[in-house]
Amino acid sequence: MKKKVLSMTAFAAIGSAFLFHSHASADEIKVQSGDSLWGLSKKYNLTTTELKSLNKLTSDTIRIGQTLYIPGKSAPVSSPAKPTSNKPSASAIVSTYKVESGDSLWKISTKFKLSIIDLKKLNNLDSDQIYAGQTLKVSGTSSTPTAPVETKPQPAPAPSTPSTGSQTNTYTVKGGDSLSKISRLFNVSVANLKAWNNLTSDAIFVNQVLTLHKASSASDSPSAPPSDNGIDVAKMISDAKTLMGIPYKWGGNTTSGFDCSGMINYVLNKQISVKRLTTADYWRMSTSVSDPQPGDIVFFTTYKAGPSHLGIYLGNRQFLHAGSSTGVTISSLDNSYWAPRYLGAKHFNNN
């Protein structure tokens, strides 16, 4: 009888240990607020790739309440969870997306029902360029607070008497300045800055005093060049801006989708009759200019040698174009992608 009692006691002990082990083993978990694939992979000694493969996930995005399979991995012992409030958290759960080959900001923004501007703001992007393997936030808040609006410095008046019909000012170069940055700040061209200051290169130094000239009657905004080809430049730019956000479409020249030359063709035909031209045609039919003015066409080399992309110059080194990854948008000539591909500006001749 003693032997039988001992056997039952041993069986009970083994069963108890088995039940305890089953309880401690975490085969399935529910995603909690603040969880991420990376955090869970560390917690259960897995890689994110293994975790995604086990749960057939195609991205790093997970959601609260989602059930994930964690086979045979012991979760660390933790103190009893504090009761959670039903009150929603002030900060949103951050979801991410890994960029795949062929993706663009426009494609991703459409997929996650965001605007391109919001997507760039969430990820602190200063251009439309992304790359395969890059991880982007598609919800939540940006990791850094919005920078305060920079106040435009007031240039000090020069000691000399201003010449008739113009105003002469000076500006002292600060750390991080460049001729391009100063030209945008004071709405003048780099060429004029160099001419006014007898500069033979773009090199400047901190505390250097630069001379600035502005016509006293001039507006702060860039003025449109006189029309010599039957085109009202102000209307041309206004018409082009109404197309912002329309997606890119190879060979497209309607509001359902544009390629770069199709967008130019559409805008020009609002005022004059122009047949469908290629980027190379516009390059051949236009006259080169050293200092582009609003309404001129800027050219770039992209997927092949020679002019293969173009846009409308807006002034202040900004241009409007139909980009293959962005649709119709405004970019800067100083953008890290466009700057090395810039071929120059030309004035379109309607001959």
Q: Is 21 labeled as catalytic in the residue annotation?
A: no
Q: Out of 23, 213, 260, 347, which one is annotated catalytic?
A: 260
DSSP 114-148: --HHHHHHHTT-SSS---TT-EEE-SS--SSPPPP
Phi, psi for 169 (deg, rounded to 5)? -125, 170
Determine the Cα–Cα distance for residues 70 and 28; give it in Å rounded to an integer.
Answer: 6
Residues 6+ apart with CB under 8 A from 24: 74, 75, 77
Q: Is 260 labeled as catalytic in the residue annotation?
A: yes
Determine the Cα–Cα distance for residues 226 and 210; give it in Å rounded to an integer.
Answer: 30
What does the block give as tokens for 16?
């108890």
Query: How far is CA 244 from each of CA 136, 255, 265, 330, rounded to the nearest angstrom?
Result: 23, 10, 15, 8
CB distance 205 to 175 below 8 Å: no
Q: Is 309 labeled as catalytic in the residue annotation?
A: yes
Q: Where are the beta strands (DSSP E) in 251-308?
A: 253-254, 257-258, 286-289, 297-300
Q: Out of 23, 213, 309, 347, which one is annotated catalytic?
A: 309
Q: Out of 21, 23, 321, 347, which one is annotated catalytic?
A: 321
Q: Annotated active-site positions, please?
A: 260, 309, 321
